[in-house]
Amino acid sequence: MGMKIRVGRGIKNLAEWKNWVFCAVLVALSIVLTRYASIGIGDTLRIGFGRMPVMLASVWFGPVLGLFTGAAADILGALMSTGWNPALTIPAAVCGILPWFFFKLFRVGQGGCGTDRNSLRMLPGIAASTVLTKVITQGIMMTLLLAYFYDKFTAEFPLFILTRNAITIGEAVVETAAIYILYTNRALGKLVGSGRK
């Protein structure tokens, strides 16, 4: 059977004010985790979990609100600290799109958010979705952009990309556990109202 992707739910979510409120909270959480609760290593390396709220917005509310959450968190966070570079917002926005598609691809949560009795079966799909999203957006896209803006396309580039991807995969392991716990929580699933019909 081919993969069926229906965007109707994501479009419908745009009209629900409750989802915008949740996304605003996720934007704030992403800013705090990225800008104030992360460990900076030089100009281009950081250990943090600010993309996790963005991925949650994607799987809870769809790719459109996920994109909004990622872009808004990056723009507002940058304006509050280092200054905004539009190019660096692209990976953040894409991070809000990909998890939704990967959840569909790996058939995560067939019964909907927080409703699957055999939730452990979701774990491999959640792990694959999280790792792929992080590697594509942070490990590849952000690394190339930072290398361009900080003149890292030199002899140190291989070490730079290896270091960033090692950090990215380490973050993805922690974020997988957090997303699994939050996505499979029944009470939270009812609260966000993202279970598929």
Looking at the predicted structure, is the pLDDT value of residue 8 above 90?
no
Share of the chain above pLDDT 90, in %: 53
Say what the pTM is. 0.85
pLDDT band at 43 (very low <50, low <70, confident <90, very high): low
Cα 60 to Cα 178: distance, rounded to the nearest angstrom: 14
With contact defined as beta carbons under 8 Å apart, do 139 and 165 qualify? yes
Domains of the chain plus CATH, in order, are: 8-192 (1.10.1760.20)
Task: Determine the pLDDT at residue 113.
Answer: 63
Cα 77 to Cα 9: distance, rounded to the nearest angstrom: 29
With contact defined as beta carbons under 8 Å apart, do 125 and 106 qualify? yes
Task: Determine the pLDDT at residue 159.
Answer: 85
pLDDT band at 1 (very low <50, low <70, confident <90, very high): very low
Q: Length of the chain, please?
A: 197
* 181 vs 94, residue with greater confidence: 94
Looking at the predicted structure, is the pLDDT value of residue 174 above 50?
yes
Using alpha carbons only, how large is the chain's radius of gyration in Å? 17
pLDDT in tens, 62-82: 999 999 999 999 999 999 987
Task: Determine the pLDDT at residue 149.
Answer: 87
Ranking 105-119, 131-145, 163-177 by mean pLDDT, the lowest is 105-119
- DSSP-derived secondary structure letter, 80: H
pLDDT in tens, 115-125: 555 678 889 99
